[in-house]
Every structure is written in C-alpha cells, then in structure tokens.
A and B are shown apart, each in its own frame.
Chain A
Amino acid sequence: MLSTLNSLQPRQLLTQILNFALVLSTAFMLWKGLSVATDSPSPIVVVLSGSMEPAFQRGDLLFLWNRGQDTQIGEIVVYNVRGKDIPIVHRVVRRYGGGATPLNLLTKGDNNMADDTELYARGQDYLERSKDIIGSVVGYIPFVGYVTIMLSEHPWLKTVLLGLMGVMVVLQRE
C-alpha cells in the first residue's frame, strides 16, 4: 500500500494531499458559510440532555437562526453559560427590557422543575440576548445527532473515523 505512495512524483503526491485537504476544508468552510448566513457561531447543535422532553430528545439535531434579535416568550433558544462552553437548549419564559434597553431573558427546560437561574454563571440572574444566546431553534431532525453523542462519549471513535477517512482519500485515486 505504501509503495503506491512512494512511487508517486512530487506533483502527484501534492495532488493526493490536496484532495484530502479539500475534503476537510470544504466541510469546514460550508460550516462557516452557514455560520455567517445564520449569524450564529454554531448554527447546528445536538440536544445533549432530556431537559426539553417531550419537545426534544437526546440526539435531536437542531437548526438555529440568530438574525431576529427580538426573541419572544415561548421561543426555544440555545445559549452558552458564561465561562463554560456547553450549549443548552431551553424555552424562554420571561423577558425584561427590549426595545431601547438591552433585552434580557429567563429560560427554563420544559422537563425541569425550576427555571434556569441555578444553571447560569455565578451572580447572573438572566441571559443577555445579544451576548449569551447563539440562536433560536427553527427546525430539527430527530435522533440523527446521536452519532455525535457517541463520538463525544467515546473520543477514540473520532480518531478512528478521521484516520480511516484520511487513509481512504490518500490511497484512492478516483
């Protein structure tokens, strides 16, 4: 197998590497393009907990939109807790301010007993719409995101998957 690589001339070798790099970079740039279009740093997220059942189950794939800033009560939003990089999907139950003053929101999981003040960072009693929210949910596909939960719970799977992809692209012509 490796002898195939050795016998390649520099331009052919560069072409093989390029093919692999293009697969990765195109996937990344499509993601970034979607980010730019939706104005959200993470336009697709996977539900990690059951706190929004029965609306969303673990593994549901959510599509976010972050261009309308005037979020209403009842909308389901995704936010990052300050200092932690874990996205949380919960429903807006109260709004403060808005209009001329910055809009602040209080959220709660449908399946949770209490609202989210306990989840927020220390000293924070509400979410700032413009800072903390990464988007409102506009669509979802049930369950297909479960793969990523598997991948994050068993990190070695990631290495295996990436390695396999790399080997396939480099060794395959056409």
Chain B
Amino acid sequence: MMSILLKVENVQTHIGQYHILQGVSFEAKEGQVSVLLGRNGAGKTTTLKTIMGLTPATSGTIHFQDKEITKQATHHIASSGIGYVPEDQGIFGALTVEENLKVAMRKEDDAALARQEYVLELFPDLKKYWKKDGGHLSGGQKQMLSMARAFINDSKLLLIDEPSKGLAPVVIEKVMEAIVEMKKQTTIILVEQNFIMASRIGDTYTLIDDGETVRSGQMSELVQNEELKRQYLGIG
C-alpha cells in the first residue's frame, strides 16, 4: 500500500478580488504521477501555486509528509522537499545553465553532485550548453533545465506545470521520457492539457472545473470514460 505524500483538502484560494479555487481536494501517493486535468482557467496552475505557497490558500488544508504546510512560506515549503517547475519554466535568463543549477542546489555535497550528474545524463543538451545563458536556450531546453533544477535537491515531490506547452512533438516525447525516468526516484504532480501525454504517464487523475475538484480516480478509468472526457476536457 503506497503512502499518501501530499493531501489537499477543500482548499480555497483568492487572488485579489477573484475566488479562484473554491474547493480543491486530492491526494498524491508516493511513487506515482498524479495528473491534474481540466479546461483552461479551471484552476490547475493556481492549485500548484497554492501548494507552493505562492498564492496562499485562504481556507482548507495542505499536508505534506503528514505535516501541515498550508500557511508556510514558499521557501520553507520548497526546503521541505517540494520542487516546482512553473508553466513559464522560470529560467533565470541571464544566468548560464550551470549557474541556474547552482542557484537551485541548496547543499553542494556529493549527493547533490551525483544528482547533477544524473540530470545531465537525463538531459544531455544541458551538458552541451553548460555555459550558455538560460535565456538563449530553446523552449524544450528551458523545460529540461527547469525540471533538472527542481530535481537537483532530492525533492520528494515534483510539481510540474504543463511541460508540453509550446513544444514540438519530438521534444514532448523527450520530456515525457524524462518524467517517466524521474518517476522512478520521486513523486510527481503534473498539470497537463495534452491528454494523450497525461494518460500515458499518469497513474491517477483529478479533474478540476471552475476551481473545484469534480472527480478523482485511476487514470485507466478516465481513459475509458468517454462521457467524463467530453464533459470536462472537451475531447472524445
């Protein structure tokens, strides 16, 4: 039985005057890829930002490794073992690939350097463009750098927001392979619009609509549920 790593319960988030999340609940189990699905503007990205404390929850609770992190500062949440890959990748454009990874590395010990070697094997392009400014990388390379940066601190959980967005199919395939590889070492919560990709790598799904969780379950069930896909994802 896999243990629950992250538990989000009835989370509500306001951004300014807007009530974005109106009751999001789901669990992420250790070693799995949990996919958040829903239409544009449903609240998937805000859910990840709320977990990270970037748009703090106004009510509800978030537990990570059985500790409540709902009101914690973002840097505490990240330090507790959650890596974040934002939708825009968040690359420091004027820093080189090496520097982007160095900023992220909280401890420069042997374990961290081993993980750096691992991500460079996973993404050989990063090694190739080691001294190149992050701002000059292609969209796919930026995505790889952002994922490598989130992974480098022995993160127990990775939050990855729309990794396929704006990428060519061949690059999407590479990113997918990398996520499958990373899954062997960590737990992943993935926001993804590309249902084909999501269904191939996801173990579980959570459907979010108008800021609320409408359904959660095994990905294999959703793949076969044409009605649910049509109603909430506009496909099928």
| A interacts with B | no
- Which residues of A are at the interface with B, using a C-beta cutoff of 8 A? none
